[in-house]
Amino acid sequence: MTRARWGALALLVRPAYIATEYVVAAATTGGYSFVSDSVSKLGEVGCSEAYCSPRHELMNGSFMGFGVLLAGGGVLLARELGPWATGLLVVSGLSSVATGLAPLDQDATLHALAATPLFVAQPLSLLVIGHRLRKESPVLARGLLVTGVVTGSAAVAFVLAGEESAAAGALERLSLWPVLIGLAAAGLRSRRARSRTA
């Protein structure tokens, strides 16, 4: 299998991350809301009578594992994506890895510093990839451009509202989950293109 096919596969499997959130959330005690609670709350190490996430290691490991897939996928698809998109994906992936290494309840400032690049670089990567594919795959390109705008706007709204907002979880997921689908679609396009030329 070529480097590019491995890169496409890395992007294709990343939507499985969403299932990880559900698995971890199902084990929490004290109540967890996908609408009002941030994703980072699932990775909190400490427990109290009010709330506990006993599967926090799985959540933080997921941040790291899927971050490696993102950065690795970007590097392996560098020739196709170009330097800007590749750089943005690598930054996003490393940010995800760093987020998993800095749980929210251990050091909130460090956690915010680790996570912030992800919310900036991911939407930008979609815009760059969408612009790059506008002639070869116009439908996919438009989808990526729209997704980039939506996720970027949601990221700004999440930051402005803060983690204590009643819609923090919904805004954060709106800034993260569509990116998984968008990049998986780009990976699928790459994989199909490689299959046709093989």
Domain range for 28 is 3-197
Distance CA 65, CA 155 (A): 22
pLDDT digits (tens, 9 = 90+) for 131-175: 999 999 999 999 999 999 999 999 999 988 877 788 999 999 999
**Percent of the chain residues past pLDDT 90, beyond the cut:** 86
Residue type for position 171 = L
Contact 44, 158 (CB under 8 A): no
Q: Residues 22, 26, 29, 34: what is their CA dihedral angle, to the nearest 10 degrees?
A: 40
Mean pLDDT of 18-26: 97
Q: What are phi and psi of 6, to 5 degrees?
A: -65, -40
Where do we find the tokens 């790291």? 64
pLDDT digits (tens, 9 = 90+) for 128-140: 999 999 999 999 9
Per the structure, the count of domains in the chain is 1
Where do we find the tokens 């939507």? 15
Q: Which two tokens stand for residue 145?
A: 């451009």
Q: How far is CA 115 from the centre of its chain?
A: 10
pLDDT digits (tens, 9 = 90+) for 96-116: 999 999 999 999 999 999 999
Q: Which two tokens stand for residue 148?
A: 């980039």
Q: What is the average pLDDT score of the chain?
A: 94
Q: Which two tokens stand for residue 66?
A: 């899927």
